[in-house]
Amino acid sequence: MLPSTASLKQTGGREFARIVFDEETIARRVRELGRDITAAYADGELLVLGLLKGSFIFLSDLVRRIDRPLQVDFLVAASYGEGTMSSGNVRLLYDPETELRGKHILLVEDIVDTGKTVNRLVTLLRERAPESLEVCALLHKHLAEHLALAPKFVGFDAPRVFLVGYGLDHAENFRHLPYIASLT
Ligand code: IMP
Ligand code: MG
């Protein structure tokens, strides 16, 4: 169900063309991902590392579906330069305080688009000598020409349109929507 036009206007002045993934579909898939992740990590220490801000809702739903001990921390990355194109020059604004060495690291991302963010973060995180490093992406656009590490866990293959909601933003708006919608 879409929020009323009035509430959308307050949020960002736009109306969505369509809901791409509804609440129920997302919840079902997140449960499956939780089961897959639980099964994939039989032993060792697991650190689930959420890339802010986009992963905040997905991560909080996902960790509650993982049935084994784990720790949670976050990364805040920023691209140099503004604009709508991902520049690929990613630097860390917030670095996890948790020790990464010797742990299974699961990097959780909202969406893999050009893949530049993942590529840069994978390089950075590998320098910390984790026991293993994998990526879990809620959405994958399959646009990236080269991925340093293909996401082992993917929620949905995404249409190649701009998506908002369930953590994803457009100019910081729409992150709170409980579903994923296309803006155009
Ligand atoms: P990449 O480096 O091009 O893979 O970009 C990844 C980041 O760009 C994601 O973590 C998102 O924050 C943002 N992004 C890419 N595509 C979308 C979209 O369709 N909607 C909202 N944010 C997006
Ligand atoms: Mg964004």
What pLDDT, in 10s, does the model give residues 134-167?
999 999 999 988 999 999 999 999 999 999 999 9
**In this predicted structure, what is the pLDDT of residue 84?**
47
Residue 62 placed within a domain = yes
In a domain, 173, yes or no: no
Taking only the tens place, the pLDDT of each residue in 6-40 is 444 445 555 667 999 999 999 999 999 999 999 99
**Residue 98 Cβ < 6 Å to ligand 1:** no
Helices (H), 127-176: none
- Note down the domain range covering 115: 29-159
Q: What's the CATH number where 76 sits?
A: 3.40.50.2020
Is residue 94 within 6 Å of ligand 1 at its C-beta? no
Ligand 1: atom nearest CA of 114 is 3
140 CB less than 6 Å from ligand 1? no
Beta strands 18-21 and 180-182, pairing class: antiparallel
CB atoms within 10 A of CB 102: 12
The length of the chain is 184
Give the Å distance between the CA of 148 and the centre of ligand 1: 17
Cα 44-49-53 angle, rounded to 5 deg: 165
> Is any ligand 1 atom within 6 A of the Cβ of residue 119?
no
Fill in the amino acid letter for 95.
D
- Is residue 178, in this structure, part of any structural domain at all? no
Task: Identify whether 19 is part of a domain.
Answer: no
Ligand positioned closest to the Cα atom of 164: 1
On whether residue 87 sits in a domain, the answer given is yes
pLDDT of residue 97: 76
**Residue 73 is a catalytic residue:** no
Domain count for the chain: 1
Q: Which of 22, 67, 113, 157 is catalytic?
A: 113
